[in-house]
Amino acid sequence: MIIDAHVHCTGQERSGDVLRSLDDAGIDMAVLLAPFLSEGYSLEDPESLRRGNAGLARLVKGHEDRLIGFAVLDPRRADAPDDLQRAYDQGLRGIKMVPAGWYPYDEQVQPLFAKAHELKMPLLFHSGIFIDGRSGRFCRPTFFEALRDYPGLKVALAHLGWPWTDEAIAVGLIELIHGVAPDQVMFRFDISFGPPPVYRREVLSKALSVLGPDLLQFGSDCFLPCSGAHIAERRGWVEDLLDELDVDARGRERIWSGTAAAWLGLDAADAARRAAQARERAPAEAATLGVATRRLFTSLLGGDQGRPPGLAPVCC
């Protein structure tokens, strides 16, 4: 089974097309993040985030065996816990946040963390440098240690915190030193890139050596709507690195699905069976969107086409 633990929605995608792209890329399950970077949505506009969360809830409805919706919120707002409760009631099952203009240890954001703890919702944080060129300073890995005030929360830090990957690995190491089992620790890390190509092998090698595969999970960081080929290309980057680093079958199973399944509170074997059954049903339900249109969206919103070689894709 393969879980893509980091996929962005833009508000332009439809469930049938998303499922078809996942099928084309050989992805069984995907964590879909509500839109916040695309036109019409903004972290600064809570109403747009509510609209994005509600739209994502509609998109995943009926496809919960393959699509897991994550709400996006601005935790600085006093009504953020209410928004989270609403998103949960609508069917979203996790939270994605970017510390943009706030630090994870700020007093004003604690009520939302407490609400996430109450609802037992897994969290995904952007960590590391951010695409807006302004918010990276809020997203350093050690700042997320404040989450340890909520024992039992399951947190993933994206991009292995690049360029602060040593710091991210150190944050992840602490609980292992204290003997906590990997699936019970607070922090795991998605290896969505993040690091530009020249850094990737070194970063992944160090993370595997220090943390092991049990704290690492795959995320494509693709922006929907996009083709399956686009997701598959990013899956291929990871496959190539796992080959180069001679990662064994068990380690690969953890990175492709086991680590994320534990983060999401899923039984991996049961989730794989349900996803396979859902895949059997999916073709008949798939909506249609012209290939040319899909390619256009891919190119406009998430594609790497036209980027100079050696530069990282959008990471957020």
Whether residue 217 contacts residue 182, with contact meaning beta carbons closer than 8 Å, is answered with no
Q: Does the protein bind Zn ion through residue 22 (CB under 5 A)?
A: no
Q: What angle do CA 242, 172, 163 make, to 5 degrees?
A: 70
Site for Zn ion in 239-278 (CB under 5 A): none
> Nearer Cβ to Zn ion, position 13 or 221?
221
State the residue for tokens 């633990």.
5
User: How many residues interact with Zn ion (rule CB under 5 A)?
Assistant: 2
Q: DSSP string of 145-172? A: GGGGGSTT--EEEGGGGTT-HHHHHHHH
CA gap 316, 2 in Å, rounded: 21
- CB closer to Zn ion out of 93 and 96: 96
Smallest distance from the beta carbon of 144 to Zn ion, in angstroms? 16
CA distance 255 to 257: 6
Q: 168-207: which residues touch Zn ion (CB under 5 A)?
A: none
Q: Which of 300, 298, 310 is nearest to 21 (CA)?
A: 298
The smaller minimum CB distance to Zn ion, of residues 72 and 271, is found at 72
Contacts of 115 (CB under 8 A, 6+ apart): 80, 81, 84, 85
Contacting Zn ion within 37-56 (CB under 5 A): none
Residue 316 touches Zn ion, criterion: CB under 5 A: yes
Q: How far is the CB of 194 from Zn ion (least distance, A)?
A: 9
Distances (CA, A) of 240 to 12, 201, 221, 243, 251: 31, 10, 17, 5, 14
Find where tokens 């050696």 sit. 310
**157 contributes a contact to Zn ion by CB under 5 A:** no
Q: Least distance to Zn ion from the beta carbon of 256, Å?
A: 18
Residue nearest Zn ion by beta-carbon distance: 316
Output 83 or 221, the one with its CB closest to Zn ion. 221
Give the residue with the Cβ less far from Zn ion, 49 or 278. Answer: 49
Q: Which string of x and - marks every residue 206-235 that binds Zn ion (by CB under 5 A)? A: ---------------x--------------
Q: Where along the sequence are the contacts to Zn ion (CB under 5 A)?
A: 221, 316
